[in-house]
Amino acid sequence: MIMNMLKLPIYLDHNATTPCDPRVVEAMIPYFTEHFGNSASRNHPFGWQAEEGIDYAREQIAKLIGADPKEIIFTSGATEADNLAIKGVFDMYASKGNHIITATTEHKAVLDTCKHIEKSGGEVTYLEVDPEGMINLQELEAAIKPSTILIAIMYANNEIGTVQPIKEISRIAKKHGVLVFTDGTQAVSKIPVDVNKDGIDLMAFTAHKMYGPKGVGALYVRRKNPRVKVTAQMDGGGHERGMRSGTLNVAGIVGFGKACEIAIQEMHTETERVSKLRDKLENALLKLEEAYVNGSRESRLPHVSNISFKYVEGEGLMMGFNKDIAVSSGSACTSASLEPSYVLKALGLGDDLAHSSLRFGLGRFTTEEQIDYTIEQVSKTVIKLREMSPLWEMYKEGVDLDKIEWAHH
Q: Which residue, 272, 364, 304, 369, is CA-closest to 23?
A: 364
- From candidates 132, 316, 367, 372, binder to other proteins by CB under 8 A: 316
- From candidates 98, 186, 331, 370, binder to other proteins by CB under 8 A: 331
Report how far residue 206's alpha carbon sits from residue 111's, in angstroms, rounded to the nearest whole number.
Answer: 18
- From candidates 175, 177, 333, 376, binder to other proteins by CB under 8 A: 333
Instruction: Compare residues 249 and 389 and give the one whose CB is closer to other proteins.
Output: 389
Cβ at position 7, least distance to other proteins in Å: 9
- From candidates 55, 279, 368, 393, binder to other proteins by CB under 8 A: 393
Distance of CA 107 to the CA centre of its chain: 8
Residue ranges of E strands in 71-178: 72-75, 99-103, 123-127, 148-152
Report how far residue 136's alpha carbon sits from residue 319's, in angstroms, rounded to the nearest whole number.
Answer: 37
DSSP state of 224: S
DSSP string, 388-403: T-HHHHHHHTT--GGG
Instruction: Compare residues 227 and 323 and give the one whose CB is closer to other proteins.
Output: 323
Instruction: Compare residues 3 and 336 and give the one whose CB is closer to other proteins.
Output: 336
Cβ at position 14, least distance to other proteins in Å: 19
- From candidates 118, 283, 319, 380, binder to other proteins by CB under 8 A: 319
242 touching other proteins, by CB under 8 A: no
Q: What burial class does residue 303 get, using C-beta atoms within 10 Å of its C-beta: 0-12 exposed, 13-18 middle, 19+ buried? A: buried
Report how far residue 406's alpha carbon sits from residue 394's, in angstroms, rounded to the nearest whole number.
Answer: 14
Residue 260 a catalytic site member = no
Give the three-class secondary structure for 344: helix
Q: Give the range of 53-61, 106-114, 199-207, 344-352 binding other proteins by CB under 8 A.
A: 344-352
From the list 20, 114, 260, 333, the catalytic residue is 333
Q: Give the range of 25-33, 231-239, 347-355, 365-373 binding other proteins by CB under 8 A.
A: 347-355
Instruction: Return the residues of window 161-180 that contact other proteins according to CB under 8 A.
Output: none
5 touching other proteins, by CB under 8 A: no
336 touching other proteins, by CB under 8 A: yes
2 touching other proteins, by CB under 8 A: no
Fill in the per-residue mask, 369 to 388: x = in contact with other proteins (CB under 8 A), - = not in contact. ------------------xx
Give the three-class secondary structure for 220: strand
Report how far residue 254's alpha carbon sits from residue 293's, in angstroms, rounded to the nearest whole number.
Answer: 38
- Orientation angle between helical segments 45-64 and 250-285, nearest 10 degrees: 30
Q: Which residue, 133, 154, 151, is CA-closest to 143?
A: 151
Residues, the chain? 409
Instruction: Return the residues of window 6-65 that contact other proteins according to CB under 8 A.
Output: 9
306 touching other proteins, by CB under 8 A: no
340 touching other proteins, by CB under 8 A: yes
Q: Give catalytic residues, as residue numbers.
A: 333
Q: Give me the residues that bind other proteins (CB under 8 A), please.
A: 9, 311-313, 315-316, 319-320, 323, 331-336, 338, 340, 350-352, 355, 387-393, 401, 404, 406-409
